[in-house]
């Protein structure tokens, strides 16, 4: 179970690090999803910063699983993905919420395994 947990943490860290970096850089492809649900670029960049920092927390959690930082990073990302799904729902764009929903489910699995 520990190996599955670390693999999931590693995959999630890569996904959130790339996603956060794309949003932070102002790349139109990275900001496309947030623009679709009427979230401004400044807020999207802040979300990208949170995703990138939390991804570093996930990597830290692989090395130091007993520390609280990893659990907090998972929780922050779980909340962020819940808000993302809600934002898509509010904008009537549920079809485009699939990635956030899948990440929310994977984060839930990691929380349960943890």
Calpha distance 69→35 (Å, rounded): 30
Residues 29 and 33: their CA atoms lie apart, in Å, by 8
Q: What pLDDT does residue 59 have?
A: 95
Check whether 11 has a pLDDT greater than 90.
yes
Query: For the segment 12-31, what is each residue's pLDDT rounded down to a tens digit?
Result: 999 999 999 999 998 888 88
pLDDT digits (tens, 9 = 90+) for 60-103: 999 998 889 999 999 999 999 999 999 988 888 888 888 999 99
The Cα 6–Cα 59 span in angstroms is 9
| Residue 70, token pair as written in the block | 């990893």
Residue 1 has pLDDT above 70, yes or no: no
pTM for the model: 0.90
The one-character DSSP state at 78 is H
Radius of gyration of the chain (CA): 14
- Which stretches of 1-114 are assigned E, i.e. beta strand? none
What is residue 67's DSSP assignment? S
| Torsional sign, CA 38, 25, 10, 54 | negative
CB 52 within 8 A of CB 10: no
pLDDT of res. 31: 85
Nearest-10 crossing angle of helices 2-25, 68-90: 60
């Amino acid at each position: 179970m520990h190996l599955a947990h670390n693999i999931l943490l590693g995959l999630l860290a890569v996904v959130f690090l790339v996603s956060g970096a794309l949003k932070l850089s102002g790349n139109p492809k990275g900001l496309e999803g947030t623009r679709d649900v009427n979230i401004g670029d400044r807020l999207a960049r802040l979300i990208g910063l949170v995703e990138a920092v939390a991804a570093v927390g996930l990597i830290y959690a692989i090395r130091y699983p007993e520390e609280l930082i990893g659990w907090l990073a998972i929780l922050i990302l779980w909340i962020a993905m819940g808000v993302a799904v809600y934002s898509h729902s509010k904008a009537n764009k549920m079809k485009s919420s699939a990635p956030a929903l899948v990440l929310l489910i994977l984060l839930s699995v990691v929380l349960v395994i943890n």
